[in-house]
Amino acid sequence: MSKVRVLVGTHKGAFILTADGKRDKWDVSGPHFAGWEIYHMKGSPADPNRIYASQTSGWFGQIIQRSDDGGKTWQQPGTPPGEPAATASDMPKPASNKFVYDTAAKPLTTHQWYDGTQHPWEFKRVWHLEPSLEDPETVYAGIEDAAMFRTTDGGENWHELPGLRGHGTGPKWQPGAGGMCLHTIILDPKDPGRIYIAISAAGAFRTDDGGKTWKPINRGLHSQYIPDPNAEVGHCVHHIAMHPSRPGVLFMQKHWDVMRSDDAGDSWKEVSGNLPTDFGFVIDVHAHEPETIYVVPIKSDGEHFPPEGKLRVYRSRTGGNEWVPLTKGLPQSNCFVNVLRDSMAVDSLDKCGIYFGTTGGQVYASSDAGDSWNPIVRDLPAVLSVEVQTLT
Amino acid sequence: MIRVVLPAHLRTLAHVGFEVKLEIEGPVTQRSLLNTLEAKYPMLQGTIRDHTTLERRPFLRFFACEQDLSHESPDAPLPEDVASGKEPFLVIGAIAGG
């Protein structure tokens, strides 16, 4: 029988929720890495029991954790678990948390700071881990300050793909309120050379050669705070989603505006339609209906909570423009949580399950494509990310 | 025998108790102490000092014998009471936020 595993990263640890295909009874495991910020966890599509986690702390820096048994046990890649027996100098030299910007290929040392001056690139944390679709040892990491890293040895060593920072527009990138983070990585299942990424606040970028060269794909985006209405970069893209059957069609939740591209990001058009507000963070696509998309409208950039205190997921079955609020089972009064950019995911069961986590610590799930919702856990620390694995 | 007290989160990461004991050959300095600590507990690499610069992470402090040693040279000898094991070397997380 099918099983669903939900990987929840929170402000104070990781939680793993599991259920059978009925999705009505959930087992909660955690907190793993209690007290640490878990920005993201994601399983390998090629080996679902291989899960990677980004564990981070303002005090102690970045840690990468890996599980080979579906989240039961974890280790830092390249580091023997438990206390080593000796103090010999030939002990392992783990580098799984060593993210050092490339300075050789095409050095690029500064980006735009909040006040418009140039500021050096400084590693802060890993926001997003995207395992390869084919190889469990290969993972892409999106980091703050924005850059793309890759491991090909299961997380033991990480190397930057310097073509992204080095392609030319880097000095115009600037941090959003959450930092200058590379938060979205989408691998094209039909073209192994094509990867989409998004950065706040720089915009969306695409490579067609596996990460060697990149180009901005922001034509059609308009942002009030950028003086140039046709700016190539500087846009605060919050998240992008793609259906694997149509990798050239992208849906974007920008700072303001919900956008759509039908040409792999070469151009974008607004599909906010009748949304009560088009500010928000998450966006995702139904597992079986590529034109069915979901967003959670948030009141504004200054008020990060649902309009009118009503937590509503909006669904469009027409690829945007025409939106319907989904409210059954969601709080419709006095709700002032946020739903952060990596905190929505879908399973691939029939009917499609939709999941999202809130800064109030709830993880809501719908096992009927959004028609009704239930909190499958409701008192966690603030949720930073949600990913879902459908296991058969 | 050198005694080192780590913050709770690093104890968890290294799978150790309240106090860690180290044998150090030669001069006992911040550098030799942290080198030995990271060799014995490699999962701590990058968590106390920057991987590349080996500078103390900004939100951590070093104390011993009621002295703040955070800004001492990493190659300065640590107090004799630390070198002899009478007093522990404390790695402390700055109290900021939660």
Euclidean distance between CA atoms B70 and A247, whole angstroms: 52
SS3 per-residue string spanning B15-30: CCCCEEEECCCCCCEH
Question: Is A97 close to B46, i.e. CB distance below 8 A?
Answer: yes
**Nearest by CB: B59 against A36, A58, A79:** A58
Q: What is the ipTM of this complex?
A: 0.92
**Nearest by CB: B51 against A76, A91, A98:** A98
Percent of chain A whose predicted confidence (pLDDT) is above 90: 89
**Nearest by CB: A76 against B9, B12, B43:** B43
Report whether A327 contacts A307 (CB < 8 A): no
Query: Mean pLDDT lowest for which of A65-79, A219-233, A277-291?
Result: A219-233
| Beta-carbon contacts below 8 Å between A and B | 74
Euclidean distance between CA atoms A78 and A157, whole angstroms: 9
A100: closest chain B residue by CA:
B52
Report whether A334 contacts A309 (CB < 8 A): yes
> What single-letter amino acid sits at B19?
E
Residue B61's CB is within 10 A of a number of other CB atoms, namely 17
Gyration radius from chain B CA atoms: 12
- The alpha carbon of B5 is separated from its chain's Cα centroid by a whole number of angstroms, namely 7
pLDDT in tens, A324-349: 999 999 999 999 999 999 999 999 99
Chain A residues with beta carbon closer than 8 angstroms to that of B39: 87-89, 91
Residue A133 has pLDDT above 80, yes or no: yes
A156: closest chain B residue by CA:
B43
Question: Is B51 close to A100, i.e. CB distance below 8 A?
Answer: yes
- Residue A154, CA distances (Å) to A77, A99, A131, A134, A150 in order: 7, 15, 9, 13, 10
pLDDT in tens, A10-60: 999 999 999 999 999 999 999 999 999 999 999 999 999 999 999 999 999
Residue A229 has pLDDT above 70, yes or no: yes
Mean pLDDT of B6-29: 94
User: Which residue, among A298, A310, A303, A302, has the nearest Cα to A343 in the 3D structure?
Assistant: A298
For chain B, what is the mean pLDDT? Answer: 93
- pTM assigned to the model: 0.95
Report whether A34 contacts A17 (CB < 8 A): no
* Banded pLDDT at A224 (limits 50, 70, 90): confident
Which helix H or strand E contains A29, and what residues bound it? strand A27-32
Question: Is A81 close to B15, i.e. CB distance below 8 A?
Answer: yes
Mean pLDDT of A262-291: 98
Which helix H or strand E contains A386, and what residues bound it? strand A383-391
Q: Where are the domains of chain B?
A: 2-93
Chain A residues with beta carbon closer than 8 angstroms to that of B62: none
Using DSSP, how many helices (H) and how many strands (E) does chain A show?
A: 0, 29
Chain B residues with beta carbon closer than 8 angstroms to that of A34: 12
Residue B77's CB is within 10 A of a number of other CB atoms, namely 14
Phi and psi angles of residue A209, each rounded to the nearest 5 degrees, phi first: -130, 35
Euclidean distance between CA atoms B93 and A213, whole angstroms: 41
Mutate to test the interface with A, among B2, B4, B9 (most CBs of A within 10 A): B9
Question: Is B15 close to A83, i.e. CB distance below 8 A?
Answer: yes
pLDDT in tens, A75-113: 999 886 555 545 445 566 778 999 999 987 665 679 999
Q: Which two structure tokens, joined as six digits, stand for B68?
A: 């703040």
Report whether A238 contacts A244 (CB < 8 A): no
Query: Mean pLDDT lowest for which of A107-116, A162-171, B48-57?
Result: A107-116
User: Which residue, among A116, A234, A118, has the nearest Cα to A173 in the 3D structure?
Assistant: A234
User: Which residue, among A106, A137, A136, has the nearest Cα to A121 in the 3D structure?
Assistant: A106
> What single-letter amino acid sits at A290?
P
Question: Is A93 close to B45, i.e. CB distance below 8 A?
Answer: yes
- How far is the alpha carbon of A88 from chain B, nearest alpha carbon, in Å? 7
Residue A166 — left, alpha, or beta (φ > 0 → left; ψ -120 to 50 → alpha)?
Answer: alpha
**Nearest by CB: A98 against B7, B40, B46:** B46
Q: What is the pLDDT of residue A81?
A: 58
A56: closest chain B residue by CA:
B47
Q: What is the pLDDT of residue A103?
A: 85
Percent of chain A whose predicted confidence (pLDDT) is above 70: 96
CATH superfamily of B2-93: Beta-grasp domain (3.10.20.30)
Q: Which two structure tokens, joined as six digits, stand for A92?
A: 């392992």
Q: What is the pLDDT of residue A106?
A: 62
Q: Which stretches of chain A sit within 8 Å of chain B by CB?
A: 34-36, 57-63, 76, 79-84, 86-89, 91-95, 97-98, 100
Euclidean distance between CA atoms B31 and A183, whole angstroms: 36
Q: Scanning the structure block, which residue is given the tokens 């419709």?
A: A332
**What single-letter DSSP state applies at residue B43?**
G
Gyration radius from chain A CA atoms: 20
Chain B residues with beta carbon closer than 8 angstroms to that of A91: 39-40, 42
Mutate to test the interface with A, among B21, B44, B51, B52 (most CBs of A within 10 A): B51
User: Which residue, among A84, A86, A79, A44, has the nearest Cα to A65 in the 3D structure?
Assistant: A79
User: What are the b/e assignments for B6-26, b being 16+ CB within 10 Å?
Assistant: bbebbbebbebeeebebebee
Question: Is B40 close to A95, i.e. CB distance below 8 A?
Answer: no
Question: Is A97 close to B60, i.e. CB distance below 8 A?
Answer: no
Question: Is A94 close to B13, i.e. CB distance below 8 A?
Answer: no
Percent of chain B whose predicted confidence (pLDDT) is above 70: 97
Report whether A346 contacts A367 (CB < 8 A): no
Question: Is B43 close to A61, i.e. CB distance below 8 A?
Answer: no
Beta bridge partners of A342: A385
Question: Is B14 close to A83, i.e. CB distance below 8 A?
Answer: yes
Chain B residues with beta carbon closer than 8 angstroms to that of A95: 45, 51
pLDDT in tens, B59-87: 999 999 999 999 999 999 999 999 999 99
Length of chain B as a residue count:
98
User: Which residue, among A372, A360, A365, A370, has the nearest Cα to A388 in the 3D structure?
Assistant: A365
Report whether A97 contacts A63 (CB < 8 A): yes
